[in-house]
Amino acid sequence: MSDTQGSHRRGGPVPEAYEAQPLAQPVAWPSGTGDPGPAAWDPESQAQAPVPAPVPAPRGGRRRRAGLSPAELSEADTLAAAPVAPGSGRRRAAAPVAVAVDVAVDVAPAAPAAPTPTVPGRRRARGRGAPVETLGGNWRRIVPQALVVAFLAGGTTAFVAADKAVRLTVDGVPRNLHTFADDIGELLAAEGLGVGPHDLVAPAPGERLDDGEEIVVRYGRPLHLTLDGQQRQVWTTARTVEGALRQFGIRAEGAHLSAPRTAPVPRAGLALSVRTERSVTFMADGRERTIRTNAATVQEALDQAGITLQGQDTTSVPPTDFPRDGQTVTVLRITGTREVREERIPYETEKLKDPELFAGTEVVERAGRPGARRVTYSLRTVNGVRQKPRPIADEVVREPVTQLVKVGTKALPSSVAGADGLNWAALAQCESGGRPSATDASGTYGGLYQFDVRTWQGLGGSGRPQDASGTEQTYRAKKLYVQRGASPWPHCGRTLYR
């Protein structure tokens, strides 16, 4: 057996069909080399001289009863000396002619030879019709034929060594084949098997290929996986849904699957939805309930737990949400009524400048009026606890009326003849405590000097005296003093002369 045939890694011994046949042993002469010649011929020793045995044919071959011609010998030598073409490391096998030719060579010639003249001192071989020539003549014919047989046997051995018996399994389908490839990638290319980044090849495509090798190819398959509500795109080399779940470490016991476990995963891909079994706790009606579920929504899990929502009842998380493992959901029992309330709408104030009024004076041209709205409130009780009222409807009953105010911009006079030298500060202190906005208990008199509205407006004032500035009030009081003296202030009028 050759070295190449014995170097495979995983295979057993080379099959017998690929064993090389043993070569014929060379003829052993009594002494020396070459033809002993007639002078050394001995009748006794010649009678005992061994006759070369015919070369056995390879197993399963057919013996050919003719020797090789000089043309055949020349062709065999040419094949043996042919150079090996350079390549990618592949070992070139012996020429197919070396395998196809199955030769067994006999010592006897193919056609009867002419009678050989009798040489003195020779005798015919026992049991033979033709005379036996001297050993020197037979040697020249036997040796070239033995060399050709050795060359053919060596070529067959090299051919068998380059051939490898391997087992190729593609997506679970095994087959045995013979190949001359040197590595895994070369074998796949020869078989027309293209592989991509998501495919599995073991051993790897770059590794050396040995006789008896087992190669596994699993093609990748895209899987659009929705796992517990989360979507993602993954690749798997599994051929069934169950194999893909096992490959990704997804627990299938108690899970909801959109496809059966035994369903195949085609090369084009598959959309698979998986809802694993989860633990969810519900707090309802003062009780705690924990269930194992693969429900898609909280509402579905509620139904499995035997909890019913009525009226305005709801849950602490939206009923359409996906229930998570270990999640606690509170059921809210809601009762409620409605209440309608009328509420005030405040009015706005608009100010207009008036050049006819002294600076600091404001006169209400149109009084404002508040509006009204009707608001409907929802009064709820959640699990027995009253909640803050929540407005659910709003209707305006009466629109508010904007208040208009005139603001004076006219400059005040600096003095009033006949009244400038009096002590007006003392009078103001006595009447109102020096407060321009003061008003008596009845609301009839107001301001620094306690004017009534009729007297104030008769002096040219607008609105109410307590709404005017202190400067304007003093100016109007001086005008009143010029007209009537201190009589408008019967109690405090004497303070003007201090």
Average pLDDT (13-41) is 34
CATH number for the domain that contains residue 309? 3.10.20.90
pLDDT at position 65:
31
pLDDT at position 282:
95
Asked whether residue 306 falls in the same domain as residue 398, the answer is: no
Residues in the chain: 498
Among candidates 243, 241, 236, 234, which has minimal Cα distance to 257?
241
User: Which stretches within 354-460 are classed as H helix?
Assistant: 424-432, 453-458
Asked whether residue 158 falls in the same domain as residue 20, the answer is: yes
- Cα-based distances in Å from 49 to 36, 38, 443: 12, 15, 168
Asked whether residue 54 falls in the same domain as residue 99, the answer is: yes
Look at residue 2 and tell me if it is in a domain.
no
Asked if residue 389 has a cis previous peptide bond (ω within 30° of 0), the answer is no
pLDDT at position 121:
42
Asked whether residue 270 falls in the same domain as residue 144, the answer is: no
- Rounded to the nearest integer, the mean pLDDT of the chain is 75
Q: Taking the CA atoms of the chain, what radius of gyration do you get in angstroms? A: 63
Whether the Cβ atoms of residue 122 and residue 77 lie closer than 8 Å to each other: no
Number of domains in the chain: 6
Asked whether residue 327 falls in the same domain as residue 343, the answer is: no
CB atoms within 10 A of CB 215: 22
Q: Which domain holds residue 312?
A: 278-332
Digit-coded pLDDT (tens) for 28-57: 333 333 433 333 333 333 333 343 444 343
Asked whether residue 202 falls in the same domain as residue 325, the answer is: no
> How is the chain split among helix, strand and coil, in percent rounded to 5?
25, 25, 50
Asked whether residue 189 falls in the same domain as residue 145, the answer is: no
Choice between 357 and 457, residue whose per-residue pLDDT is larger: 457
Asked whether residue 348 falls in the same domain as residue 394, the answer is: yes
Asked whether residue 433 falls in the same domain as residue 419, the answer is: yes
pLDDT at residue 24 is higher than 50: no
- 57's tokens: 């044919």
pLDDT at residue 77 is higher than 90: no
Digit-coded pLDDT (tens) for 269-304: 999 999 999 999 999 998 999 999 999 999 999 999
The strand pairing partners of 144, in sequence order, are none
Asked whether residue 158 falls in the same domain as residue 24, the answer is: yes
Digit-coded pLDDT (tens) for 166-224: 999 999 999 999 999 999 999 999 999 989 999 999 999 989 999 999 999 999 999 99
CB atoms within 10 A of CB 246: 15
Asked whether residue 118 falls in the same domain as residue 50, the answer is: yes
Domain boundary, last residue among 405, 433, 460: 405
Of 86-100, 249-263, 419-433, minimum mean pLDDT range: 86-100
* pTM for the structure as a whole: 0.42
- Per DSSP (E only), the strands in 150-269 are 164-170, 173-179, 200-202, 214-218, 221-227, 230-236, 256-257
Among candidates 319, 361, 395, which has minimal Cα distance to 465?
361
